[in-house]
Structure 1
Amino acid sequence: MKKVLAGLAAVATLFAPGLALAEKLVIACGSVGQEADVCKQGAEAWAKKTGNTVELMSVPQDAGQQLAQFQQLLAAGSADVDVIRIDVVWPGLMANNFVDLKQYFGEDVLKEHFQPIVKNNTVNGKLIAIPWFTDAGLLYYRKDLLEKYGQKPPTTWQELVQSAKAVLEGEKKAGDAKLVGFVFQGKAYEGLTCNALEWIDSFKGGTIVDSTGNVTVNNPKAAEAIDFFAGLVGNVVPKGVLNYQEEEARNAFQAGNAVFMRNWPYAWALVNGKDSPVAGKVGVMALPKGGADGKSTGTLGGWQLGVSKFSKNPKLAADLVKYLTGPEEQKRRALVASFNPTIMSLYKDPELLKANPFMGSLYDTFVNAVPRPTITGAKYNQVSTEFRNGVYATLTGKGKAADNLKKVEAKLQSLGKGGKW
């Protein structure tokens, strides 16, 4: 009888008010570079703290493929994932499938983050995601090779080409036939949209669709920019770049096979890792201008965390989001993997700035990055696809930029309302 009573007491304690059973959450993180590992570390720290468990969902590297995967799950009302990492351009596409996080996050917490990103994540008054890390395109370069051949870090794209040619010529004489001048994300996917927007904006050719909804992509400066980079393919830029995403570009640069690379901040920690052949030989700076009268620019990137409205435990999922996007975890992620925080105060943290010097010197690049045309709302993906396909056609020698951008303009206007967004 005593054993029976003891057992009943144990059951009563297990289900006593205020004591919750352990829950399992599923989170979809990224898979580029160290993203999955660093996300797993953070999620496991939260799980240990709260007594719950977290499982990572496998996702492809390509952002477009990720979006398709999530849209398929959400369209089916699937509860297979609780927390989803979403791109800075997805809020308008996915707002209806996410929980309004205003009920879990106070204004005091939201004010810690860059306000333009919080605003970007708010759709029709609904806060669908919390900023996690921000991004802008950067230029990585081999300090040792530039110094060896008396070259300075380039301030314009034209200077980059001249410097690359000088280094390549010298290294070819020294017997290095593998070295190339410049690598970037040239495959026809979202990464090319980001690169090409930077090219056009740096030449002062506009932003594809402006803030008032006018399609501006078909103009002489935009055509000049695209033609300029198309002219580099097969010369300073290897033809293989037309199949590169972020990791292919990083792998080539990190192996010591490229003088310059355009990539996101995440690459900094990896190219300077203990096993990297170029560790300590790399510099990073804002992207060059499109000529002396151009501008230095970088496409706004970054990722946020949202809670699926189909989650069986949205309150707990929101708690996981709060932990992962909090100052302690954002600082840890910056230190170990150079993910740019979205919490403003961290940009004054001495330890963080020592590990990632560019975060302080390039602060303005991050806060003033050029946004993609999210004014196009739910049709953004179509707009981006049409734009990058037109750019890719030019890069692969299928027509001049002026002709291809004219076709892009017509398609974007047909997607809009009466030729305008």
Structure 2
Amino acid sequence: MRKMAVLGASMLVGSLLHIGTASAVTVTISCSATGHDLEQCTQGAQAWAKKTGNEVKIVSMPASGQLALYQQLLSAGSSDIDVLQIDVVWPGILAQDLIDLTKYAGNGTAGDFPVYVKNDTVGGRLVAMPWFADAGVMYYRKDLLDKYHVDVPKTWEELTADAKKIQDAERAAGNSKMWGFVWQGKNYEGLTCNALEWVQSYNGGAIVDASGKVTIDNPAAVNALKMARGWVGTISPEGVLNYQEEEARGVFQSGDAVFMRNWPYAWSLANSADSPIKGKVGITTLPMGGANGRHAAVLGGWQLAVSKYSKNPDAAASLVMYLTSEPEQKRRAIEGGYASTIEALYKDKDVRDAIGPFADSLHDNLVNAVARPSSITKTRYNQVSTEFSGAAYAALSGNTDPAASLKDLDDKLHGLSHGGKW
């Protein structure tokens, strides 16, 4: 039965692309097939193989369902994949099946943004290495802010007022499709990210604190959701409650929104040759929750980890350290536009020339980045996130008062936490 389960999982993952030359050790790494990911991952792995004399096999992963595939393979004790590319919220979920990389990393994490190292450390074990970064950012129409003599907003209150002012003026001028602000409001992980940014910006905590205590039922968090509820139907369309990243980008890139919350990937698309708003877009940190609030961007990005079922853990860890090293991250930034997890590279001239004018904004967002509580809640993170996004959605849609919604969420999370013992 176990052998059949492993075989079935392997068939689901996809065919192996064999690269490199014969050598003493073969290491298999999973690489995303999204965009340039497979090409860039393959190039880095090939360089490591050439340098070490080892052999590499690449598993091309599908665009969705990776976590379920990993869980199936790992639960079967499969050694089919040595190095796993994992999302930023998966270290806590998969930690028990990953090796501790501490002895291999040495001081290799010293240059990484601390939030990534903390996120990838579960129970005192470094179960993954940061590979490339992501964080929520605010896009805005430079031309429209200039047209109406509006400064880039520093707080959510300023953004709300500016969005309304420009939206109303543009509609009065004949652009009936203009909206002030688009974001991700559908009930899914994207809403968890957006809502956590609002809550954190008002100093409302991170749902569950570092000790495992549930903290979401507080006045600051309630105020954050009340603010966002006020956007729906005023500066944001009612349909924003069905928006994911691409729906928000579609509206913004069509020229029908003043502000947009999204991830850095949208920058190159907004400035592509066929984009109606090419050259008209600015990027900045997400606003603070009032004068006493803070800038808060939810952490995204991908990590590399080694399966504890690997037959060649030392070689697999060597590949991880090579791919996450500063020289390799610099290459990926220049050739593929990937945001580095190493802070010093944001001052590197070659990197700054490659990733464009959003280098400083992205750096500032990563400095202020907020990790979702996945490392604390471990295997229950998906339940925590689902409950949180559901509570936020209920408040945003007007089905439940924000205060009542968060009180109900608090009760549910306490039931999941077993007194903080996640």
Is 1:209 matched up with 2:212?
A: no
Greater shift, 261-270 or 139-148, is seen at 261-270
Measure, in 2, the Cα distance between the counterparts of 1:27 and 1:112: 25
Greater shift, 138-147 or 42-51, is seen at 42-51
Give the letter aligned to residue 377 of structure 2.
T
Measure, in 2, the Cα distance between the counterparts of 1:82 and 1:127: 16
Which of 30, 37, 40 aligns to 1:27? It is: 30
Measure, in 2, the Cα distance between the counterparts of 1:238 and 1:275: 25
- Show CA shifts across 1:25-84 (max 9, x none): 3414373x65455445544555676674543433335xxx44333222322233443322
Measure, in 2, the Cα distance between the counterparts of 1:84 and 1:419: 29
Measure, in 2, the Cα distance between the counterparts of 1:39 and 1:174: 48
Which of 38, 52, 61 aligns to 1:58? It is: 61
Q: For the Cα contact (< 8 Å) 1:391–1:404, is it kept in 2? A: yes
Deviation at 1:304, TM superposition (A): 0.8
Partner of 1:395: 396
Is 1:386 matched up with 2:387?
A: yes
Deviation at 1:303, TM superposition (A): 1.9
Q: For the Cα contact (< 8 Å) 1:208–1:217, is it kept in 2? A: yes
Give the letter aligned to residue 117 of structure 2.
V
Distance of aligned partners of 1:174 and 1:335 in 2 relative to their CA distance in 1, 3 Å threshold: farther
Partner of 2:185: 186
Deviation at 1:158, TM superposition (A): 2.1
Give the letter aligned to residue 159 of structure 1.
E
Deviation at 1:186, TM superposition (A): 1.7
Deviation at 1:148, TM superposition (A): 1.7
Distance of aligned partners of 1:413 and 1:161 in 2 relative to their CA distance in 1, 3 Å threshold: same
Q: For the Cα contact (< 8 Å) 1:269–1:337, is it kept in 2? A: no
Measure, in 2, the Cα distance between the counterparts of 1:275 and 1:85: 32
Q: For the Cα contact (< 8 Å) 1:28–1:81, is it kept in 2? A: no
Q: Secondary structure at the match of 2:283?
A: strand
Structure 1 regions of 5+ residues with no counterpart? 1-17
Is 1:332 matched up with 2:341?
A: no
Note the aligned Cα RMSD (angstroms).
Answer: 2.9
Partner of 2:351: 352
Q: Secondary structure at the match of 2:370?
A: coil
Instruction: Give aligned pairs, total.
Output: 399
Q: For the Cα contact (< 8 Å) 1:100–1:127, is it kept in 2? A: yes
Measure, in 1, the Cα distance between the counterparts of 2:198 and 2:411: 21
Measure, in 1, the Cα distance between the counterparts of 2:254 and 2:59: 30
Q: For the Cα contact (< 8 Å) 1:47–1:54, is it kept in 2? A: no
Measure, in 1, the Cα distance between the counterparts of 2:123 and 2:419: 23
Measure, in 2, the Cα distance between the counterparts of 1:243 and 1:34: 28
Q: Secondary structure at the match of 2:302?
A: strand
Distance of aligned partners of 1:19 and 1:414 in 2 relative to their CA distance in 1, 3 Å threshold: closer
Deviation at 1:313, TM superposition (A): 4.3
Is 1:153 matched up with 2:144?
A: no
Deviation at 1:179, TM superposition (A): 3.1
Distance of aligned partners of 1:238 and 1:84 in 2 relative to their CA distance in 1, 3 Å threshold: farther
Is 1:93 matched up with 2:93?
A: yes
Structure 2 regions of 5+ residues with no counterpart? 1-20
Greater shift, 361-370 or 406-415, is seen at 361-370
Q: For the Cα contact (< 8 Å) 2:202–2:290, is it kept in 1? A: yes
Percent of aligned pairs with the same amino acid: 52
- Show CA shifts across 1:199-218 (max 9, x none): 11212222212233332211
Distance of aligned partners of 1:268 and 1:385 in 2 relative to their CA distance in 1, 3 Å threshold: same
Greater shift, 249-258 or 41-50, is seen at 41-50
- TM-score, structure 1 as length reference: 0.84
Partner of 1:417: 418
Partner of 1:366: 366
Partner of 1:10: none
- Select the structure of larger CA radius of gyration: 1
